[in-house]
Amino acid sequence: MFKTKSKIALVGTTLVALMVLVGCGQTAAPSTPTPTPSAATTIDKKTISAAGSTALQPLVKLAADEFMAKNAGVQVNISGGGSMTGLNNVASGAIEIGNSDVLAPDELKSQGLVDHEVCVAPFILIANKDVTIDNLTKAQAADIFTGKITNWKDVGGQDEKISIIGRAASSGTRLNVEKIVMDGQKMSDAAAAQDSTGNLLTGVGQTPGAIGYIDAAYLKDTVKALKFNGVAFSADAVTSGQYPIYSYEHMYTKGEATGTVKLFLDYINSPEFQDQNVEKSGFIPSTKMKK
């Protein structure tokens, strides 16, 4: 009987000891699941494409170069074609990002486009250097671009034919000039249509009597920048409300951005990129605007 009691006591002691050990183990090292990175914030594609606005293209290209340098093996392809081309292509799924100087029209927004605002792009009216005037009023500029005024002498300049060099109908820069400068009127059919801001700049610089419009980031000393309503372009003139020819720049995705696309958009909107690159590239941070 003594042996039986001893065995029972031994078994009981062993069970208590095991329970204590298990309990101590749970207290010292609780089981915590390891979080897994969200698919929305990790590299999921090695190649993404952005196209559209040639006004915004230099800034997006700079962001792409820096982003690729920080993410080995990732390729970001950038091309132009005009804002409406970018919007239509992202809506169809042909590209991941559509760059635009204008808001997407309702018929494209209804296809699931999501707007990512990145900065402000100012636009400048430019003329060939042989043009003797330095300023155009809004009414004068509108009459020139609609074709009502065809000679510089009618706005105080020399007796010389005005040659309009503009952009194709798909251009966001053209749409903004029509909206802001021309109050919604359409550009004259006589205007030569260039497929990029760079080509328009070259055309105005090489054509006597020419006038056009470009994104401020492209301005070179090969052309003359015109004042608008007596105000010369400057970043301060835009942010103070004195200079009205500008647009908010957009990068559209079809649906919410995820993976590599989200990481790229987050980078271009990051303080690191915005503070170092936006203003020196000829653009204005959206945060500086008085909305």
Structure-token pair, residue 165: 């060099």
Section 106-127 average pLDDT? 96
CATH fold of 47-120+248-288: D-Maltodextrin-Binding Protein; domain 2 (3.40.190)
The ranges assigned to domains in the chain are 47-120+248-288, 121-239
Q: What is the largest CA-CA distance in the chain?
A: 130
Q: What is the pLDDT of residue 11?
A: 38
Identify the CATH homologous superfamily for domain 121-239.
Periplasmic binding protein-like II (3.40.190.10)
What is the band of 40 on the pLDDT scale with cuts at 50, 70, 90?
low
Mean pLDDT in residue range 119-137: 97
174-186: per-residue pLDDT in tens? 999 999 999 999 9
**Mode of pairing for the β-strands spanning 224-225 and 135-136:** unpaired
| Calpha distance 142→136 (Å, rounded) | 9
Which range is least confidently modeled, 1-5, 65-69, 112-116, 188-192? 1-5
| 47-120+248-288 and 121-239 have identical folds | yes
Please give the structure tokens belonging to residue 149. Answer: 């005024």
Other beta carbons within 10 Å of 151: 14
pLDDT tens digits, one per residue of 140-162: 999 999 999 999 999 999 999 99
The pLDDT score that the predictor gives to residue 26 is 38
Contact 254, 91 (CB under 8 A): yes
pLDDT at 269 over 90: yes
Q: How confident is the model at residue 290 (pLDDT cuts 50, 70, 90)?
A: confident
Distance CA 156, CA 152 (A): 7
pLDDT at 243 over 90: yes
On the question of pLDDT at 21 being above 60, the answer is: no
Residue 34, Cβ neighbours under 10 Å: how many?
Answer: 4
Q: 252's torsion region: left (phi>0), alpha (psi -120 to 50) or beta?
A: beta
> Is 90 exceeded by the pLDDT of residue 122?
yes
Q: What pLDDT sits at residue 291?
A: 64
Over residues 48-87, the pLDDT tens digits come to 999 999 999 999 999 999 999 999 999 999 999 999 999 9
pLDDT at 35: 40
Check residue 22 and give its pLDDT.
37
Q: Lowest mean pLDDT of 31-40, 193-202, 206-215, 263-272, name the range.
A: 31-40
* d(C-alpha 245, C-alpha 248), whole Å: 11
User: Looking at residue 268, what is its pLDDT?
Assistant: 97
> How large a percentage of the chain has pLDDT more than 90?
82
Q: Give the span between the Cα atoms of 86 and 105, in whole angstroms.
A: 12
* Averaged pLDDT, 105-119: 96
Which range is least confidently modeled, 90-94, 99-103, 285-289? Answer: 285-289
Is the full-model pTM beyond 0.85?
Answer: no
Percent of the chain past pLDDT 70, that is, above it, reads: 86
Q: Residue 242, class by beta-carbon neighbours within 10 Å (0-12 exposed, 13-18 middle, 19+ buried)?
A: middle
Q: At what angle do helices 57-70 and 259-268 cross, to 10 degrees?
A: 120
Q: How far apart are the first and last CA of the chain?
A: 93
Length of the chain: 291
Contacts of 139 (CB under 8 A, 6+ apart): none
What is the predicted pLDDT for the residue at 153?
98
